Amino acid sequence: MKTFLDKQNWRYATKKFDGTKVISESDLDFLKEAVRLSASSYGLQLYKVIIVENQELKAQLLPAAYGQTQITDASHLFVFASQTNIGNTEIDAYLKNASEIRELPIEALSGYGDFMKGTINPMPEDVKNIWTAKQTYLALGNLLNAAAELNIDATPMEGFNAAQFNEILGLDKLNLNAVVIAPVGYRHEEDATQHHKKVRKSNKDLFITL
């Protein structure tokens, strides 16, 4: 437990990455698996995670992130994009996957499928899109924690033009919408922010026990 908290105290939103350092394939696989295992509502995982490592593509995205150089200097850029226009197709795909993994006849899951369809399908489209967007933050949290475990830096960012990201990455054509991004890599020794004391609310101000 102390190790986890030590890592949380170590991590911060890195402002300047060392562009010469690249995440190893094994560490990248660890981060991907951590994201894959994230909790999500109903287990549906109604999002995709685009991992950008191509420098030319990162350079194209830089203006859409208002020139924030974490985009180009970090080893990899994770883009969390929520699915839009969801419905029976996505639910049926989940049921098929669950049936195969758990070695159950798909009929055994029909009740759960009907429950999900009866709950999700009546939602207005804008409400569904907000709901799926929220799911991406659960996966982002797993990425931040997993990166800290490996002493890898990750910076969650909402400061970008989602429409431009969608166009550059072709997300619109896939019924996806960029929600939040995270440059991942290694802090530059000149990044003064790493020496700042972490500012958080006290337990007294944060928690209410009833």
Predicted confidence (pLDDT) per residue in 129-170, tens digit: 999 999 999 999 999 999 999 999 999 999 999 999 999 999
Per-residue confidence (pLDDT) for residue 1, from 0 to 100: 62
Tell me how far the alpha carbon of residue 56 is from its chain's centroid.
22
Q: Which CATH superfamily is domain 2-206 in?
A: NADH Oxidase (3.40.109.10)
Per-domain residue ranges of the chain: 2-206
The model carries a pTM of 0.96
Long-range contacts of 18-22 (CB under 8 A, 24+ apart): 18/73, 18/185, 18/186, 18/187, 18/188, 18/189, 19/72, 19/73, 19/74, 21/75, 21/185, 21/186, 22/75, 22/185
Per-residue confidence (pLDDT) for residue 191, from 0 to 100: 95
Per-residue confidence (pLDDT) for residue 103, from 0 to 100: 96
Which residues of the chain, if any, have pLDDT below 70? Answer: 1
